[in-house]
């Protein structure tokens, strides 16, 4: 564990990846300020999971901000007129309709403001470029570009030590992420990954996020704690 490294802002969706990132940041000694967003997502139940994960993961503070991203539409995650596709309907190499335009750019911008206010110099995000749905804002190139922006556009970047955008999962498989989290004591039963859960939070089992999650547990050889809706 690092020796008193100070505060870090951790983007926390309530899903598997962000729960793992919170555990990593905590293990590295940071006082973690968890940041979640109510942005009009159809899987808003993830915010309940985020609260539970923040508490279980030892965050010193958890903020949930409301952002009107969903009012823009253009994504199956924010527009009820667009159906969430099954994983089998998504073509490899295509950016799927579940991509939310500019979401990680907006989230990181808010995290950057909070980091500057709270004296945090490290921002953690659960972006992953290996087992992911093809989102352009989950790539290492994006993370590096945003870090450059952060250090050009802020007082701390110009006059101080600057910011570091940390994406420790970016080159890990889903199985590696799960194994890492289990070793750090993450309770994945608290997390929600499904894009289209039922009203009571049961995972649909057929969306791309459910597919990645279930295959990750299978590849890791770890029991999947997810409660799925009945098949058929």
The pLDDT tens digits of the residues spanning 158-184 come to 999 999 999 999 999 999 999 999 999
Residue 159: count other Cβ atoms within 10 Å of its Cβ.
8
Residues paired with 32 in a beta bridge: 8
The whole model's pTM is what? 0.94
Helix/strand/coil for 19: helix
The pLDDT tens digits of the residues spanning 30-60 come to 999 999 999 999 989 999 999 999 999 999 9
**Distance, CA of 200 to CA of 203 (rounded, Å):** 9
Helix/strand/coil for 39: coil
Annotated domain spans of the chain: 7-220
H or E, element range at 62: strand 61-66
Any idea which architecture 7-220 has in CATH? 3-Layer(aba) Sandwich (3.40)
Helix/strand/coil for 198: coil
């Amino acid at each position: 564990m690092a020796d008193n490294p100070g505060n870090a802002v951790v983007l926390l969706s309530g899903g598997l990846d962000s729960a793992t990132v919170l555990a990593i940041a905590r293990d590295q000694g940071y006082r973690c300020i968890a940041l979640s967003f109510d942005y009009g997502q159809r899987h808003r139940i993830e915010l309940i999971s985020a609260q539970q994960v923040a508490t279980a993961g030892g965050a010193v503070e958890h903020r949930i901000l409301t952002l009107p991203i969903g009012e823009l539409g253009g994504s199956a995650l924010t527009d009820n007129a667009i159906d969430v596709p099954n994983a089998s309907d998504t073509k490899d190499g295509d950016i799927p309709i579940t991509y939310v335009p500019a979401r990680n750019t907006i989230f990181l911008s808010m995290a950057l403001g909070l980091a500057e206010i709270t004296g945090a110099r490290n921002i953690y995000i659960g972006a992953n470029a290996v087992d992911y749905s093809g989102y352009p804002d989950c790539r290492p190139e994006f993370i590096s570009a945003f870090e450059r922006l952060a250090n050009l556009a802020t007082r701390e970047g110009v006059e101080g030590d600057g910011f570091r955008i940390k994406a420790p999962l970016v080159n890990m498989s889903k199985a590696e992420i799960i194994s890492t989290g289990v070793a750090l004591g993450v309770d994945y039963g608290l997390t929600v990954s499904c894009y289209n859960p039922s009203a009571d939070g049961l995972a649909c089992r057929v969306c791309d996020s459910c597919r990645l999650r279930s295959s990750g547990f299978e590849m890791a050889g770890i029991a999947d704690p997810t409660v799925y809706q009945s098949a058929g």
